Structure 1
Amino acid sequence: MFADPLTQRLADFVIGLGIDVTAGELPDDTFLPGVDIRFGGLVIDERRLAHPGDILHEAGHIAVTEPEGRKAERLEPTDGEEMAALAWSWAALTHLELDPGVVFHPEGYKGDAGWLVETFTSGGAIGVPLLQYYGLALEPRQAAERGVAPFPHMLRWLR
């Protein structure tokens, strides 16, 4: 479907989670160049895709949305869902053994990409309490009590 091996790898991962991914042409005004959320799936315009890692962040928005809201034409994430999508993205890149800069690139995150990488690398928990609330991951104490690996390990990928 996609010429770039990284784009294809990320699309395959997202498809494997049960999120639709299609190739298509997108207008110039999408929030992130070359990727958009439409009706609970991702549309990727490889010609305009500036950063393949944006696929994971946008998939994270779909993944942390309540199932009944996932298929809406457009998602309107809350601030909490935005934080949960950050943590979800970190878990995904960790799972895929990617360099954090693939997702948290300097052109994104309002200039805070470096800070986010430092925060997650040092064990920061931005968004993790929401992932735990959604039943997707556990913070270290609760993970130890249940005998499972803590975040960034995911118990499941979709809310």
Structure 2
Amino acid sequence: MHAPLERIVAFLAGIGLPPRAATLDDGTFLPGIRITRGELVYDPARLAWPSDLLHEAGHIALTPAAHRGALDDALTAEQHFEHGGEVESIAWSYAASVRLSMPVEALFHEGGYRGHAPGLAQSFSLGVYVGVAGLAALGLCAIGEDARRRGIEPYPHMLQWLRD
């Protein structure tokens, strides 16, 4: 089961990362998805898993705002920023999927995460949140004692979705 594509697109647009629908060729890194100059582009006809948009949006969201426009499919070493890597994007996309009331299996689907989707689904279902410490370090969410002390809802609740 997927969150409808329209709900994912509306969510991303609402947080300031509006994806754009376009016709894409077969040469994309994920079926039906491309990042071009910091913009998430998707082909509805070729998109295998709508939830993949959340993961890729996480990469864009976790890139410092001043550098987002330089992002494209072929990320270079200069485009990797502390707390903006793969594990943080996984944690970001999980928080987005919770916000959209998606089942964990829709995000961590059998076609993704290089065979690690079942383990990720189990970990997140059990409250073992890979990458969340990086999101907290960026001030995007609060965890553990910090959330309790501040009286705010802990992750997967996000305080903000985009890195400054």
TM-score (norm 2): 0.89
Where in structure 1 do 4 or more consecutive aligned residues deviate above 2 Å? 75-80
How far does the alpha carbon of each residue in 1:71-110 deviate from its partner, in whole angstroms, 9 at most, with x for none?
1141626495111100001101111111112211011001
Which residue of 124, 131, 151 corresponds with 1:147? Answer: 151
Partner of residue 52, structure 1: 50
Amino acid at match of 2:18: D
Which residue of 100, 109, 118 corresponds with 2:113? Answer: 109
> Is the 1:137–1:150 Cα contact (8 Å) retained in structure 2?
yes
Identity of aligned residues (%): 42
Partner of residue 95, structure 1: 99
Distance 1:145 1:122 in 2: 23
What does 1:19-98 correspond to in 2, within 5 Å? 19-74=17-72, 76=75, 78=80, 80=83, 81-98=85-102
Change (3 A) 1:126 1:5: closer
Partner of residue 11, structure 2: 13
Distance 1:103 1:156 in 2: 20
| Higher relative contact order, chain-length normalized (CA < 8 Å, sep 6+) | 2
TM-score (norm 1): 0.92
Deviation at 1:25, TM superposition (A): 1.2
How far does the alpha carbon of each residue in 1:21-79 deviate from its partner, in whole angstroms, 9 at most, with x for none?
11101121211101111122211101110001111111111111111111114162649
Partner of residue 134, structure 1: 138
Distance 2:4 2:33 in 1: 14
Unaligned runs of 5+ in 2: none
Instruction: Report how many residues are paired.
Output: 156
Change (3 A) 1:157 1:73: closer
CA RMSD of aligned residues (A): 1.8
> Is the 2:34–2:72 Cα contact (8 Å) retained in structure 1?
no
